Amino acid sequence: MQQLNATQIKKSFINTSRREVEKITLPPNLAEIEWAELDYFGWADAKIPQRAYIVVPVDDVPRGLMLRAVPMAKSQAMCSWCEDLHETTGVRMFTAKKAGPSGRNGNSLGTLIHGNFECSEIVRNPPRAVEGHNDFEAHVSMRVDKLNERATSFVKRVLGEK
């Protein structure tokens, strides 16, 4: 993922009003982030516990979404983005208001994502024996591609695209 500054991040949001963008709390460590190791950038709002944000490159253009964390019972679930069978703790349901008139009418979409947005790291883990992959690089490449496809697809659905 390309490195982004605060202005670029705030300009990327597609499902927020200008007023909501002004209130976004950015993470304090933007300069320390290893952007090249990320497939998308996500963080929880330090001031509003049930709010989070993601920025996903869609056709090389950063697209940001404001998310709302849905309270969940203490259970395990598989992340819809990285689809890791082993890292199931900390997965949360997030909803994103749809962009444009549909979102203003109250329509939203939900997805299960790791609450600390660690999918980029998880898909790069070595395959476990149960996964039956001997070619580490091919396995990781396939998982990275699938993560990017799923994240991009979610953003496009929020935009009202297919």
Delimit the domains of the chain by residue range: 6-159
pLDDT (tens digit per residue) in 82-133: 998 788 888 999 999 999 999 999 999 999 999 999 999 999 988 776 665 6
Q: What is the pLDDT of residue 132?
A: 59
Mention every residue, 6+ apart, whose C-beta is less than 8 A from residue 134.
none
On average, the pLDDT of the chain sits at 91
The rounded distance, in Å, linking the Cα atoms of 54 and 64 is 6
Q: What is the pLDDT of residue 52?
A: 97
